[in-house]
């Protein structure tokens, strides 16, 4: 409630002063609304009865509320982030303005995808390292099993993955901005931000020093992606790092649930391929000089 009051106050102040990207806020709220409705429509069981009307209004009302909150907080926070860390919003602003074929946008999606895959492999290597170092075993990270229910739920999981990655990225920006406001120094705020993920990893590694190392590595990667590349890179990394937790993978393609993971994998592989093509900015993949030599 306090965040909503503070966000409303800041948004009102920015609107009175003529600050904030209003067009970008509207487009962002529309994106959240459309993807939220798609996720809701695919994840909820429907039936041709009168109760479906109530379900429809509940889903629409919830998504309208979420999109309105996104609009409010974007107007409240965007001017301060742009003034403090303008590099973080350059490609983000280009994407919201409709320039999705901008090479910088494609580059950030690629960098984020690579970072997300590195975080996934890191999550697999940590339990092995704990075993080698004689540390207590880690509590398993629960995987979502909704995708096993069918292709409809696998598709809804994809929309949830995008929305969740965006929400966590924006939450990270808000946390860093709050730390900068309180601590008054960029390097101190970034240092505290780097150690913050250790509090989350502590629940999986009780009684061990592993979460501090793991959290520091993940936090440093988050800060590097946000401050060196931008918000799109951070969002992309969070989306790709959670692929393995939301969709059960298997090397056995004859398994009954393998088709759903392969479908999702191909969709995100196409996304990476499109990002790579856009990042080339029209340059050929193989230079003619190399072919002549």
Within this chain, do residues 45 and 122 fall inside the same structural domain, yes or no? no
Is 70 exceeded by the pLDDT of residue 293? no
Q: What was the pLDDT predicted at 207?
A: 65
Within this chain, do residues 90 and 145 fall inside the same structural domain, yes or no? yes
Q: What was the pLDDT predicted at 203?
A: 66
Q: Which domain holds residue 155?
A: 86-292
Q: Kindly report the number of other CB atoms within 10 A of residue 145's CB atom.
A: 12
Is 70 exceeded by the pLDDT of residue 181? yes
Is 90 exceeded by the pLDDT of residue 110? yes
Query: Stretch 140-154: mean pLDDT, rounded?
Result: 68
Three-point CA angle 85, 87, 93, nearest 5°: 105
Within this chain, do residues 166 and 254 fall inside the same structural domain, yes or no? yes
Within this chain, do residues 172 and 32 fall inside the same structural domain, yes or no? no
The domain boundary, picked from 84, 119, 136, lies at 84
Within this chain, do residues 52 and 112 fall inside the same structural domain, yes or no? no
Report the C-alpha gap between 99 and 78 in whole angstroms.
Answer: 19
As a whole number, the mean pLDDT across the chain is 81
3-state secondary structure 118-174: HHHHHHHHHHHHHHHHCCCCCCCCCCCCHHHHCHHHHHHHHHHHHHHHHHHHHHHHH
Give the total number of structural domains in the chain: 2
Within this chain, do residues 109 and 235 fall inside the same structural domain, yes or no? yes
* pLDDT tens figures, 219-263: 889 899 998 999 999 999 999 888 776 777 777 777 777 777 777
Q: How confident is the model at residue 145 (pLDDT cuts 50, 70, 90)?
A: low
Within this chain, do residues 66 and 118 fall inside the same structural domain, yes or no? no
Evaluate if pTM is beyond 0.95: no
Query: Stretch 142-165: mean pLDDT, rounded?
Result: 76
Q: What was the pLDDT predicted at 280?
A: 86
């Amino acid at each position: 409630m306090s965040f909503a009051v503070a966000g409303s106050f800041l948004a009102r102040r920015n609107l009175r002063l003529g600050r904030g990207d209003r067009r970008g806020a509207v487009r962002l709220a529309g994106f959240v609304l459309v993807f939220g409705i798609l996720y809701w429509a695919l994840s909820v069981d429907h039936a041709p009865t009168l109760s479906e009307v109530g379900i429809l209004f509940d889903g629409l009302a919830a998504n309208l509320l979420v999109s309105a909150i996104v609009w409010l907080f974007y107007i409240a926070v965007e001017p301060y982030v742009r003034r403090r860390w303008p590099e973080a919003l350059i490609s983000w602003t280009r994407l919201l303005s409709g320039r999705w074929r901008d090479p910088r946008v494609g580059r950030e999606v690629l960098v984020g995808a690579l970072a997300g895959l590195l975080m996934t492999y890191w999550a697999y290597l940590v339990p092995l390292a704990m075993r080698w170092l004689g540390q207590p075993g880690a509590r398993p990270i629960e995987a979502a099993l909704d995708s096993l229910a069918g292709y409809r739920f696998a598709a809804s999981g994809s929309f949830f993955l995008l929305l969740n990655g965006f929400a966590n990225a924006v939450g990270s920006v808000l946390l860093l901005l709050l730390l900068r406001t309180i601590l008054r120094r960029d390097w101190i705020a970034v240092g505290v931000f780097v150690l913050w993920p250790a509090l989350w990893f502590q629940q999986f590694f009780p009684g061990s020093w592993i979460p501090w190392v793991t959290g520091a590595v993940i936090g440093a990667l988050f800060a590097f992606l946000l401050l060196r590349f931008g918000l799109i890179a951070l969002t992309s990394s969070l989306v790709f790092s959670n692929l393995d937790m939301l969709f059960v993978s298997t090397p056995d393609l004859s398994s009954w649930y393998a088709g759903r993971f392969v479908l999702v994998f191909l969709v995100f592989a196409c996304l990476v391929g499109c990002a790579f093509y856009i990042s080339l900015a029209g340059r050929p993949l193989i230079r003619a000089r190399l072919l002549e030599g």
